[in-house]
């Protein structure tokens, strides 16, 4: 399936560059905490909603490329879904680009199959990106931040540095071995950091990736609209 997104690459000391990114393969990493205590926190909060830990930690899930979007609104199958902030790598014309995204997940289905729950919802990314080369030497200092809106009230949902989860270098090496080399069009969602108060199904998610070394931010947000009116559900 052909999936193309118009994006903007913001490079240091250069004019913004408009690109058309063609998404061909997409993976979501999971259970990626670099600190065992933080990882256990994420395992525990998923267990509270009936999600068992996978056989392999960390793990990697394949998603259809049609699930990638930079839309400001997504449709979901029911009220039991939630987003989670992650850094995202994209391979484009021989270069690795980085942005921020939300791996939106169907929590009702997740208790049955994590892989299917990930393929039920769109994965949302920001429209702006950076060159990975410009941030890789201080990547662990980059900061992830997410708020959730429920019934008009905005609250902090997630906040931590990228050093709290496995670095891009780990997944780049892993994917090169797993795939026999990485080609343009690959998208990798990093897996997420812990939440402030557990998993939350919200009406809206706003998220950002902040670079304290170069003092710049890439951000995005989207509304969740629950589809209604159907006779059959799942």
**pLDDT tens per residue across all 234 residues of the chain:** 889 999 999 999 999 999 999 999 999 999 898 877 767 776 777 777 777 777 888 999 999 999 999 999 999 999 999 999 999 999 999 999 999 999 999 988 888 898 899 999 999 999 999 999 999 999 999 999 999 999 999 999 999 999 999 999 999 999 999 999 999 999 999 999 989 988 899 999 999 999 999 999 999 999 999 999 989 887
Report yes or no: 188 and 27 within 8 Å, Cβ to Cβ. yes
pLDDT, position 148: 98
| Alpha-carbon distances of 107 from 39, 46, 147, 188, 217, rounded to whole Å | 19, 9, 18, 21, 29
**DSSP-derived 3-state class of residue 219:** strand
Top-level CATH class of 3-226? alpha beta
What pTM was computed for the model? Answer: 0.94
Q: What is the DSSP letter of 13?
A: T
Interacting residues of 182 by C-beta distance below 8 A, sequence separation 6+: 91, 172, 175, 176
pLDDT, position 33: 85
- What is the spatial distance between Cα 18 and Cα 14, in angstroms, rounded to a whole number? 12
3-state secondary structure 83-117: CCEEEEEEEECCEEEEEEEEECEEHHHHCCCHHHH
pLDDT, position 196: 92
């Amino acid at each position: 399936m052909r999936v193309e997104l118009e994006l903007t690459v913001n490079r240091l000391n250069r004019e913004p560059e408009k690109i058309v990114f063609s998404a061909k393969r997409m993976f979501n990493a999971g259970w990626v905490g670099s600190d065992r205590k933080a990882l256990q926190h994420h395992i525990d909060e998923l267990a509270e909603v009936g999600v068992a830990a996978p056989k392999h930690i960390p793990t990697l899930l394949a998603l259809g490329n049609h699930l990638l979007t930079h839309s400001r609104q997504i449709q979901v199958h029911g009220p039991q879904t939630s987003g989670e902030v992650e850094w995202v790598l994209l391979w484009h014309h021989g270069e690795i680009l980085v942005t921020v995204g939300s791996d939106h997940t169907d929590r009702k289905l997740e208790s049955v199959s994590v892989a299917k729950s990930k393929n039920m919802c769109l994965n949302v990314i920001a429209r702006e990106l950076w060159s990975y080369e410009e941030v890789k030497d201080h990547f662990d200092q980059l900061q992830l931040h997410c708020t959730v809106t429920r019934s008009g009230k905005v609250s902090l949902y997630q906040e931590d540095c990228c050093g709290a989860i496995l670095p891009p270098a780990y997944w780049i090496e892993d994917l090169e071995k797993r795939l026999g080399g990485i080609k343009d069009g690959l998208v990798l969602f990093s897996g997420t950091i812990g939440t402030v108060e557990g998993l939350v199904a919200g009406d809206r998610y706003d998220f950002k990736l902040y670079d304290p070394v170069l003092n710049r931010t890439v951000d995005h947000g989207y509304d969740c609209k629950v589809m209604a009116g159907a006779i059959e559900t799942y």
